[in-house]
Amino acid sequence: MLGICIELKTTCKHCSSPLMLNAFTENVLCPSCYKFNVFDGEEWKNLLEDALQEAPKMELGEGQPSTIMRGQYTYQLMYGRQEPRCGKCKTNIDLSKIEEFSVKGSAVCSKCSAEIFVRKPDELIAESFSNVKYLVGEDDDQLKKNPEPGKLPSSAKPVLFTCPACAGNLEIDGTDRMVNCKFCDSQIYLPDDLWLRLHPVKEVSRWYMVLDENALPPQGKMPEWYYLSDMIADRQGNVYFATAQDGENDFMVWSIDKDLNTRWIRKDIKFNYEHTRMEIAHDGNLYLYNENRHSLVKVSSKDGSLIQKIEGSKDRKKLNMKGCKRLVAYPDGTLLTNINHVFARFNEDGERVELWESKKFGLFSAGAGDDIPEGDGEWAPYVKDVGSNPKKINGDFTYMNIGLDGYLYMLDRSSSDGELAKFELSGTQVWSKYIPLNYKECRPCQDERGYIYIIGTDDKSNTRIIRYHTSSDSFETIVTDLKEGGFLEEEDTIAVLPDGTVFAAKFHNRLKVFSPTMDMIYRSEQSKEDDELEQRRRKDKIEKDEEFED
């Protein structure tokens, strides 16, 4: 849980008097003209969306002012990273008791005994910000469903006033400025100083939202991303994403099930989105690694919690992930890595073990393989250049995956002559095939029928998904580019479920899902916008070409 502080004010649309938004509420009564200003859920979402994205990445105590102009209102907003505290003496409240406070409706400051309003989000808030779990320090007068104009605020108390006609003591509650003396029946107009005492001018006050960083989005929604580091599917039909929104300390790993429901989100994994990749472990959990980090991290596939972190050894004879471009997990728990173009195999404790175990009688194994250099400057062969028991391969151009059939597949992403190769786990090459695509930016994915799926572009830069049929020894194009009447629009990453369902994605919330029969069964809002824009461009071009021919 972390706290976000908010200070927000604007002016009344009816009388232009200052209007303080000291609570997250839909109806705010102007204390000057006694008319309501309405701020619906969409307005609040636009006001606070950036604040809730930016503030969690700030240092504790850091804040940011902002001016927002929307329709009839100009808002002055201050937001920042601060734990909820008492507005009077600045003492932090105990977040470990926040649930207890929300049930009671308030917390009592441990230092000055001031009452601090605490509540859980209502429907208005939950619809826009599912990660907000509590609100603290709001003005409870603004939260009343039907506030009465001129009514004494709950923070004030009635006062005694002497009738100027008969000197009788009157208890004034501030409901009306004209009052009748109960002793002499005189009408009395309350003086300015008393009226202002009962109705003090509202000042902007700081209130707080308490967030759960790992909260799930609303049903049917996925987390948003801009950068897509990697995407991978497991044997149970779950898909895992490594993404970031703007790249500044907001890396996250999350998972959806085969029905596209978000299973979990982890925003507390400290990785950089650049060069981060994932791999399914032999036990079904998830490995995370980055070529610029020394360590290897293993998280739970059930909830993303940390299971293991293998610290990188300074001794290259043990696991050190610095320079690791590719990794696959063998069924026996060992890890085959490509580090600075050199193949190396490690056990789960990070110790280097025998690289290839040839199954053929009379052949010698490759031993542990070559020494791992500190950099990747040395030349290394491509997939088409290697045979059985390779010791080196160009990791920048090679993707690896262990298929559902238990074989190791390597794919060369080079533009013109890339090949797909199949290996036994012992290192023996079974075959190598030319891939009829130019650029390929994905690991080769296999379904339970044995088909191997690849996404890339052809020589006309059209995006295509193809699959290799092992039985017929042939490639088949199964999804084509939008420009060819298909569905793809520059997607560059795929994940394939065991039943053949294909997830195709790229940066900025773009995702499409195809059934095993290659019908498009899901398209994100951003992908839909992109597709419609591309179709309009195509239509305009055709019309212009026809006009030119006429």
* 270 found inside a domain: no
Query: Within 13 Å and on the Cβ side, how many CA atoms surround 411?
Result: 26
Find all residues with CB under 8 Å of 505, minimum gap 6, and list them: 228, 231, 241, 491, 493, 494, 495, 511, 512
Q: How far is C-alpha 493 from the geometric centre of its chain's CA atoms?
A: 18
Q: Is the dihedral of CA 268, 92, 94, 26 positive or negative?
A: negative
> For 30-148, where are the E strands, in sequence order?
36-38, 63-70, 73-81, 106-108, 115-119, 132-136
Q: Is residue 377 part of a domain?
A: no
User: Tell me: the pLDDT tens digits for 433-490?
Assistant: 999 998 898 999 999 999 999 999 998 999 999 999 988 899 999 999 999 999 999 9
Q: pLDDT value at position 359?
A: 45
- What does the angle CA 377 – CA 370 – CA 325 come to, to the nearest 5 degrees? 50
Q: Are strands 493-496 and 474-479 parallel, antiparallel or unpaired?
A: unpaired
Number of domains in the chain: 3
* Other beta carbons within 10 Å of 544: 10
* pLDDT tens by residue, 290-338: 999 999 999 999 999 999 999 988 877 789 999 999 999 999 999 999 9
Is residue 261 one of the residues assigned to a domain? no
Choose the final residue of a domain: 132, 167, 198: 198
Is the per-residue pLDDT at 238 higher than 70?
yes
Q: Which amino acid is at 118?
A: V
How confident is the model at residue 360, as a pLDDT?
Answer: 46
Q: Give the residue with greater pLDDT, 192 vs 251.
A: 251
Which CATH number goes with the domain that contains 533?
2.40.10.500
Note whether 328 and 401 are within 8 A (CB). yes
Best CA proximity match to 345, nearest among 364, 373, 326: 326
In a domain, 313, yes or no: no
pLDDT of residue 300: 96
Residue 261 buriedness (CB in 10 A; 0-12 / 13-18 / 19+): middle
Q: Based on the domain organization, do 7 and 119 belong to the same domain?
A: yes
- Flag whether 361 is in a domain: no
pLDDT of residue 250: 86
Residues 141 and 163 in one domain: no
| pLDDT single digits (tens) 376-401 | 888 999 999 999 999 999 999 999 99
Predicted local distance difference test score (pLDDT) of residue 157: 65
Is the same domain home to 184 and 68? no
Q: From CA 340, how far away is CA 387, in angstroms rounded?
A: 19
pLDDT for 156 equals 53
pLDDT range class, residue 152, cuts 50, 70, 90: very low
| Rounded (to 5) percent helix, strand, coil in the chain | 15, 35, 50
> Is residue 530 within 8 Å of residue 545, measured between CB atoms?
no
Residue 442 inside a domain? The answer is yes
Matching residue, tokens 């298909």:
486
Regarding whether 533 and 478 lie in a shared domain, the answer is yes
What's the CA gap between 310 and 431, in Å, rounded? 35
Q: Residue 113's domain spans which residues?
A: 2-146+204-211
pLDDT grade, residue 259 (50/70/90)? very high
Per-residue pLDDT, 450: 95
Cα 188 from Cα 43, distance rounded (Å): 43
Chosen domain end from 169, 189, 211 = 211
Report if residue 227 sits inside a domain: no
Residues 114-138: tens digit of each pLDDT = 999 999 998 888 888 888 999 999 9
Give the tokens for residue 122.
Answer: 């209502």
Q: Mapped to the 3 state alphabet, what secondary structure does 255-298 carry?
A: EECCCCCEEEEECCCCCCCCCEEEEECCCCCEEEEECCCCCEEE
**Cα–Cα dist 540/354, whole Å:** 61
Distance CA 61, CA 79 (A): 10
Whether 108 and 190 share a structural domain: no
Q: Are 310 and 323 in contact (CB under 8 A)?
A: no
- 38: β partners: 27
Residues 39 and 141 in one domain: yes
Co-location of 38 and 96 in the same domain: yes
21/133 same-domain check: yes
Q: Give CA–CA dist 241/509, Å, rounded.
A: 11
18 plus 93 within the same structural domain: yes
Residue 124 falls inside a structural domain: yes
For 52-66, the DSSP string reads HHHGGGSPTT-EEEE
129 and 87 within one domain: yes
Nearest to 286 by CA among 495, 456, 447: 495
Per-chain mean pLDDT for the chain: 89
pTM, 2 dp: 0.74
- Indicate if 20 and 70 belong to the same structural domain: yes
Task: Determine what percent of the chain is predicted with pLDDT higher than 70.
Answer: 94
Tell me the pLDDT tens digit for each residue of 61-118.
999 999 999 989 999 999 999 999 998 999 999 999 999 999 999 999 999 999 999 9
Shared domain for 519 and 548, answered yes or no, is yes
DSSP 48: H
Which residue has tokens 């701020």?
39
